[in-house]
């Protein structure tokens, strides 16, 4: 019998993987990472339609970067699935600190699926984003905000979270990320991780990403000038926030 602690994830009878089907786009699912995905990371991360808008991945992006990234996300997903397995007999659904699913795939008519993108939801680790409005943002205060957010226990409603995501360019503008954010947030992050406050960020000019957040109820809170330098160019950052209302 499937582990009831995976709720509301379903199990794919073909691959044995847990997955979440999107609320509206029923042909799109979110699954754990797979070994076969790794070969796709390099061309995706070296595509300017992707890397121009992402602050974290290295550039140029190599096979070694792809292997490191896969090892990291696979380990996280496996750890959460193991935690859920260990809690199989618990009468209540347990809260966990991450999502075991993150890879966005389109299921074709023959049942095969194709890689469409990725979404991660993690604890925010940037002091400037964690700083309450009109609070000091010197290095010492930033370090304190980060330390405090990291110290909160799994499931604590005061944890501040953030999303990182992309859709491969051939799938842009089809409503996929709007639905992915909505589905992952309300089906997994809120009920199974206790997520309440989420900070969304987009470099100035990333209208698609700002719209994805706004269509999910996020509101603009801060605009940070010269947030980071990428390939010699300073980038400004639009910050948005959602307070998930539950009950
Ligand atoms: C940003 C991104 C994730 C959006 O995903 P998507 O699946 O294309 O988004 P959606 O189709 O759900 O679009 C949401 C809204 O934004 C609009 N939009 C999408 N791309 C846009 C663009 N480049 N410029 C302006 N509006 C855009 C859509 O038209 C839609 O608005 P509408 O419903 O009013 O028509 C995707 O473009 C992407 O992966 N970009 C590169 C990486 C990136 O920017 N990651 C996010 C970093 S913060």
What pLDDT does residue 14 have? 87
Return mean pLDDT, the chain. 97
| Number of structural domains the chain divides into | 1
Q: Range of 166's domain?
A: 4-243
User: Per-residue pLDDT tens for 123-177?
Assistant: 999 999 999 998 999 999 999 999 999 999 999 999 999 999 999 999 999 999 9
Ligand 1 centroid, distance to 209 Cα (angstroms):
5
What pLDDT does residue 179 have? 98
Q: Does residue 208 line the site of ligand 1, with CB under 6 A?
A: yes
Q: Does residue 53 line the site of ligand 1, with CB under 6 A?
A: yes
Q: What is the 3-state secondary structure (H, E, C) of the chain?
A: CCCHHHCCCEECCCCCCEEEECCCCCCEEEECCCHHHHHHHHHHHCCHHHHCCCCCCCCCCCHHHHHHHHHHHHHHHHHHHHHHHHCCCCCCCCCCCCCCCCEEEEECCCCCEEEEEEEEEEECCCHHHHCCCCCCCCHHHHHHHHHHHHHCCCCCCCCEEEEEEEECHHHCCCCHHHHHHHHHHHHHHHHHHCCCEEEEEEECCCHHHHHHHHHCCCEEEEEEEEEEEECCEEEEEEEEEEECCCC
Which protein residue has the closest C-alpha to ligand 1 atom 14? 212
User: Per-residue pLDDT tens for 166-201?
Assistant: 999 999 999 999 999 999 999 999 999 999 999 999
User: Per-residue pLDDT tens for 62-71?
Assistant: 999 999 999 9
Q: Which domain CATH number covers 134? A: 3.40.630.30
What pLDDT does residue 1 have? 80
């Amino acid at each position: 019998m499937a582990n009831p602690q995976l709720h509301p994830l379903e199990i794919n009878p073909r691959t044995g993987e847990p997955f979440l089907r999107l609320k509206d786009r029923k042909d799109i699912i979110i699954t754990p990472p797979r070994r076969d995905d790794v070969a796709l990371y390099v061309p995706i991360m070296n595509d300017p339609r992707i890397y121009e808008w992402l602050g974290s991945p290295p550039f140029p992006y190599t096979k070694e970067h792809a292997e490191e990234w896969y090892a990291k996300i696979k380990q996280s997903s496996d750890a959460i699935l193991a935690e859920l397995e260990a809690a199989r007999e618990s009468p209540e659904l347990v809260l966990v600190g991450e999502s075991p699913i993150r890879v966005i795939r389109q299921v074709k008519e023959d049942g095969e699926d194709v890689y469409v993108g990725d979404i991660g939801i993690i604890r925010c680790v940037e002091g400037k984003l964690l700083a309450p409005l009109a609070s000091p943002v010197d290095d010492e205060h930033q370090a304190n905000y980060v330390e405090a957010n990291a110290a909160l226990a799994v499931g604590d409603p005061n944890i501040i979270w953030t999303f990182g995501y992309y859709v491969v360019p051939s799938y842009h503008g089809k409503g996929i990320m709007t639905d992915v954010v909505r589905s992952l947030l309300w089906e997994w992050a809120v009920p199974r991780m206790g997520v309440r406050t989420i900070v969304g960020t987009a470099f100035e000019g990333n209208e698609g990403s700002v719209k994805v957040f706004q269509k999910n109820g996020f509101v603009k809170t801060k605009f940070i000038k010269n947030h980071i330098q990428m390939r010699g160019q300073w980038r400004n950052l639009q910050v948005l926030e959602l307070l998930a209302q539950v009950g």
